[in-house]
Structure 1
Amino acid sequence: MLAADAVLTPTPGAAAPAPKRGRRLSLPVLLLVVAGGLVALAAVRAVTGANDLTSNGAIRAALQSAVPIGLAGLGGLWAERAGVVNIGLEGQMILGTWFGAWAGYHAGPWVGVIAAVAGGALGGLLHALATVTFGVDHIVSGVAITILATGAGRYLSQLAFKGLPGGGVTQSPSVPELPRWSVPGLGALDGLERRHWFLVSDLVGILRGALTQVSALTVIAVVLVPVSFWVLWRTPFGLRLRSCGENPHAAESLGVNVYRYKYYAVIASGALAGLGGGFLSMVASSIYREGQTGGRGFIGLAAMIFGNWRPGGLASGALLFGYTDALQLRGGSTSVHALLLFLAVMLVVVGVWQFVRRRTVSGVVAVAAGVLVAVWYAVTDTIPSEFVQAAPHITTLVVLALASQRLRMPAADGQRYRRGS
Structure 2
Amino acid sequence: MSVTEAAPPARAAGTAAPSRFRMSWQVLLLGLFGLLVLLSVARVLTGANDITSGGTFGAALGLAVPIGLAALGGLWSERAGVVNIGLEGMMIFGTWFGAWGALQFSSPWAGVIAGLIGGALGGLLHAIATVTFGVDHIISGVAITMLGQGVTQYLSKLVFEGMPGGGETQSPRVPAPERVSIPGIGEPLQTLEAKGWFLLSDVAGLLRGLTQNVSLLTIVAILLVPLSYWLLWRTAFGLRLRSCGERPVAAESLGVNVYFYKYVAVIVSGALAGLGGAFLSLVAAGIYREGQTGGRGFIGLAAMIFGNWRPGGLAGGAALFGFTDALQLRQGGVSVHALLLVIVLLLVAFAVYQAVRHRHVRAAVISAACALAVFVVFAVTDTVPDQFTSFTPHLATLLVLSLASQRLRMPAADGVPYRRGQAS
TM-score (norm 2): 0.94
Aligned equivalents of 2:217, 2:10: Cα separation in 1: 41
- Structure 1 residues 116 and 377: CA distance shift in structure 2, 3 A: same
**Following TM superposition, by how much is the alpha carbon of 1:30 offset from its aligned partner in structure 2, in angstroms?**
4.5
**Following TM superposition, by how much is the alpha carbon of 1:193 offset from its aligned partner in structure 2, in angstroms?**
1.4
Alignment correspondent of 1:168: 167
**Following TM superposition, by how much is the alpha carbon of 1:34 offset from its aligned partner in structure 2, in angstroms?**
3.0
Query: Which runs of no fewer than 5 residues in structure 1 stay unpaired?
Result: none
**Following TM superposition, by how much is the alpha carbon of 1:29 offset from its aligned partner in structure 2, in angstroms?**
5.0
> Over residues 268-302 of structure 1, what are the superposed CA-to-partner deviations in whole Å (9 max), with x where a residue is unaligned?
00000000000000000000000000010011000
Alignment correspondent of 2:14: none
User: Is the CA contact (8 Å cut-off) linking 1:171 and 1:288 kept in structure 2?
Assistant: yes
Alignment correspondent of 2:98: 100
The one-letter code of the counterpart of 1:135 is G
Aligned equivalents of 2:34, 2:87: Cα separation in 1: 35
> Over residues 340-391 of structure 1, what are the superposed CA-to-partner deviations in whole Å (9 max), with x where a residue is unaligned?
0011011101111111211222222112211211111001112122111101
User: Is the CA contact (8 Å cut-off) linking 1:95 and 1:274 kept in structure 2?
Assistant: yes
Aligned equivalents of 1:28, 1:117: Cα separation in 2: 32
Aligned equivalents of 1:78, 1:27: Cα separation in 2: 19
- Structure 1 residues 197 and 176: CA distance shift in structure 2, 3 A: same
User: Is the CA contact (8 Å cut-off) linking 1:9 and 1:236 kept in structure 2?
Assistant: no
Alignment correspondent of 1:394: 395
**Following TM superposition, by how much is the alpha carbon of 1:192 offset from its aligned partner in structure 2, in angstroms?**
2.0
The one-letter code of the counterpart of 2:87 is L
Alignment correspondent of 1:204: 204
Aligned equivalents of 2:19, 2:377: Cα separation in 1: 39
- Structure 1 residues 142 and 32: CA distance shift in structure 2, 3 A: closer
Aligned equivalents of 2:230, 2:371: Cα separation in 1: 38
**Following TM superposition, by how much is the alpha carbon of 1:21 offset from its aligned partner in structure 2, in angstroms?**
4.8
Q: Trace 1:316-335 onto structure 2 (pairs within 5 A).
A: 316-335=316-335
Q: Trace 1:11-410 onto structure 2 (pairs within 5 A).
A: 21-25=19-23, 29-107=27-105, 108-189=107-188, 190-357=190-357, 358-410=359-411
The one-letter code of the counterpart of 1:77 is L
Aligned equivalents of 2:245, 2:349: Cα separation in 1: 36
**Following TM superposition, by how much is the alpha carbon of 1:199 offset from its aligned partner in structure 2, in angstroms?**
1.4
- Structure 1 residues 26 and 298: CA distance shift in structure 2, 3 A: closer
TM-score (norm 1): 0.95
Aligned equivalents of 2:401, 2:76: Cα separation in 1: 20
**Following TM superposition, by how much is the alpha carbon of 1:38 offset from its aligned partner in structure 2, in angstroms?**
1.6
**Following TM superposition, by how much is the alpha carbon of 1:25 offset from its aligned partner in structure 2, in angstroms?**
4.8
- Structure 1 residues 177 and 350: CA distance shift in structure 2, 3 A: same
**Following TM superposition, by how much is the alpha carbon of 1:24 offset from its aligned partner in structure 2, in angstroms?**
1.3
Report SS of the residue matched to 2:390.
helix
Aligned equivalents of 1:197, 1:257: Cα separation in 2: 58
User: Is the CA contact (8 Å cut-off) linking 2:126 and 2:140 kept in structure 1?
Assistant: yes
Query: Which runs of no fewer than 5 residues in structure 2 stay unpaired?
Result: 12-16
The one-letter code of the counterpart of 1:238 is G
The one-letter code of the counterpart of 1:259 is Y
Report SS of the residue matched to 1:8.
coil
The one-letter code of the counterpart of 1:151 is G
Aligned equivalents of 1:75, 1:256: Cα separation in 2: 22
Aligned equivalents of 1:78, 1:28: Cα separation in 2: 23
User: Is the CA contact (8 Å cut-off) linking 1:8 and 1:236 kept in structure 2?
Assistant: no
**Following TM superposition, by how much is the alpha carbon of 1:40 offset from its aligned partner in structure 2, in angstroms?**
1.6
- Coordinate RMSD, CA, aligned: 1.8
Give the number of equivalent residue pairs: 414
- Structure 1 residues 9 and 30: CA distance shift in structure 2, 3 A: closer
User: Is the CA contact (8 Å cut-off) linking 2:28 and 2:316 kept in structure 1?
Assistant: no
Aligned equivalents of 1:336, 1:310: Cα separation in 2: 29
Aligned-residue sequence identity (percent) comes to 65
Aligned equivalents of 1:187, 1:375: Cα separation in 2: 39
Aligned equivalents of 1:181, 1:137: Cα separation in 2: 44
